[in-house]
Amino acid sequence: MRSHDDAFTLRGGRYVPARSGRSKRNRLDDDDLLFEARGHRPEWDVVDDGPEQGSRWSTWDQSSPTEKGPEPYPEWLVTDLGAVDTELGVVKTGKEADVFLIERGVPGSARSCLLAAKRYRSAEHRLFHRDAGYLEGRRVKESRMNRAMAGRTAFGRQLIAGQWAAAEFAALCRLYRAGVPVPYPVQIVGTELLLEFIGDGAAAAPRLAELRRDTADLADLWRQLVGAMHAMAQLGYTHGDLSAYNLLVHRGRLVVIDLPQIVDVVANPQGPAFLARDAHNVARWFAHHGVTYADGDELADDLLRTAGLSR
């Protein structure tokens, strides 16, 4: 039991009750505050088990089932939760998005795959030129969001960026299921699309515009392209900005890329015009490079019939 003297202490010229031993043990003193303020942590509380700088954990588990590509997943795709995404460099830069080469691999194993990460620009950056025509027929349920997109507010521009990414991913999934030659859509995380990387090793496949005329079978590539465009029209789509610069050629196979502005030819009032423009753009290029029977008017009429927009 404490003595009477122990119960008081001299402070400020007078005796005041002394703190009990229990309260003293629980009291946060100045040393504790200084320790916390300096941000120190005991060494046993600091664990650094993350990927190396320039890498990140695989984002596979960050996407919901509806934000992942069609099943069954390709055998080459790494879906392990312990995988690491390592950025290897820039594949392509553009006004709306940049494409990066990503290696997704499982540490300590030979299991890996290459992916193209397409990252749309943030809201403060400029998006598509004259994008209003492409956005016709694309509406969201909330009128506030529609007004923001129409007014191109900061919030509206962010919504539009999200629409470009979501529209491209949804279209790629549908086209891939239908057998249209497009990259396999792996997943979408916000405004980042992860796609099958088309190329040999880390070298991207060339665009159609980059092929040497004397080494390419342009007649066969024209046949492949016409078939792909008819398959898209049958689903009610046209690319919207089709040219020799967004068609890849990998080992003789034509692959359609860059589909954020894909147009629903039925819902969009300008759909038939976009479809005709796509047909004329590619037919003109092939005719200029020796495929003399490539006719834009004929192709456009055929595609409109396939889409059910003419007889």
Secondary structure of residue 22 in the 3-state scheme: helix
Catalytic option among 30, 214, 258, 301: 258
258 has catalytic annotation: yes
Catalytic annotation present for 80: no
H/E stretch holding 21 reads: helix 21-26
| Burial of residue 170, with CB atoms counted within 10 A of its CB: 0-12 exposed, 13-18 middle, 19 or more buried | middle
Taking the C-alpha atoms of residue 120 and residue 125, their distance in angstroms, rounded to an integer, is: 10
> Which one of the listed residues 31, 98, 241, 295 is annotated catalytic?
241
Residue 119 pairs in a beta bridge with 98, 192
Concatenated DSSP letters for 254-272? EEE---TT-EETTTSTTHH
The position carrying tokens 């320790």 is 35
Structure tokens at 190: 């916000």
Q: Which helix (DSSP H) or strand (DSSP E) does residue 89 occupy?
A: strand 84-92
204 backbone dihedrals φ, ψ, rounded to 5°? -70, 145
**Cβ-count burial of 99 within 10 angstroms (0-12 exposed, 13-18 middle, 19+ buried)?**
buried
Amino acid, single-letter form, for residue 119: R
Calpha distance 168→99 (Å, rounded)? 14
Would you name the residues annotated as active-site residues? 241, 258
